[in-house]
A = this chain, B = another copy of it.
């Protein structure tokens, strides 16, 4: 099972040096040595995201959804007016969370639009908060964070961005994009095992903190303990050690270089499959992922199954009404052209077309 070729948007392919850390004894963590690790993780995340001065990072042992829910619970007052950009499964998840926690919100449904032109948002300029999934991973659409950030700044709106599926592969700059709170996760572009999610809070976001409504997801206690590099509860220590190493690598390489590499691989893949009966599904794809729709009568779900059964390759199926219409190919993680060629060659073989290199 661990020997399959994976092109899924989490888990993603992990590099050998990061994997090796997973085989080390879990160290005791309530001491200065481990605090130093956590504080360095915070510093490097703030650097990579270009967070405003005095921003902070919270480390949660939980999936990305938990970080989404915790953010809604901690940053939204019940009578705030929040606009939720709902372009697919993850936008809908934000809507569900707002409903469950009785947060006043507008469910803004949208499709095939990256909001580079923010005119559709104009009638909501009196909202207090905006919630958006930078990369709506269910269909592979990347919103224009630059335009949306300008709209938020102009109208004094708290801009809360789930960047889980585009961090490290696509441009993300908290100051340039006027982002107030940012949600991240370990198992996507960071290419670590799943289990840790992170929230970056700017000083502005910190002023919006609500009364405690959960012990495990109380931002105040994470902020307080984080000052000395600790978490209120036992963290996924091993994944934090892997995060520490990975962040050091990214800072050393430069995140721009990482993004460029993801872009090259995405473009390489998209160009290579042009002769095949597969069409790009979205005009607004991130470097992180390519969403494809069959150009012939084949069902997307059949292609997904066949790639697994015949070629030992895992691409990502969709559910519901998109099941037969699209499938998704992730370029996140320790991806190379050589690894991508395994999928490209399999697709050529599958369609019985000879690949010209």
* Chain A residues in the interface with B (C-beta under 8 A): 1-4, 6, 8, 10-14, 19-20, 22-31, 33-34, 61-66, 69, 93, 96-97, 100, 187, 193-195, 212-216, 232-239, 241, 308, 314, 317
Contact = CB atoms under 8 A, between A and B. Distances in A.
> Which 7 pairs show the lowest CB-CB distances between chains A and B?
A22-B22, A195-B236, A11-B26, A23-B23, A63-B233, A66-B216, A2-B24
17 contacts: A1-B27, A2-B26, A6-B28, A22-B22, A22-B24, A23-B23, A26-B187, A26-B193, A26-B194, A63-B235, A65-B234, A66-B233, A69-B216, A193-B238, A194-B236, A195-B236, A236-B236
B64 A100 contact: no
B194 A235 contact: yes
A329 to B, nearest CB: 13
Contacts of A14: 25-26
B61 A61 contact: yes
A22 B238 contact: yes
Given A1-B33, A62-B62, A194-B61, A215 B25 contact: no
A23 B34 contact: no
Given A195-B239, A215-B69, A27 B10 contact: no
Contacts of A6: 25, 27-28
Chain B CB within 10 Å, residue with most, of A6, A64, A97, A236: A236
A42 B2 CA distance: 21
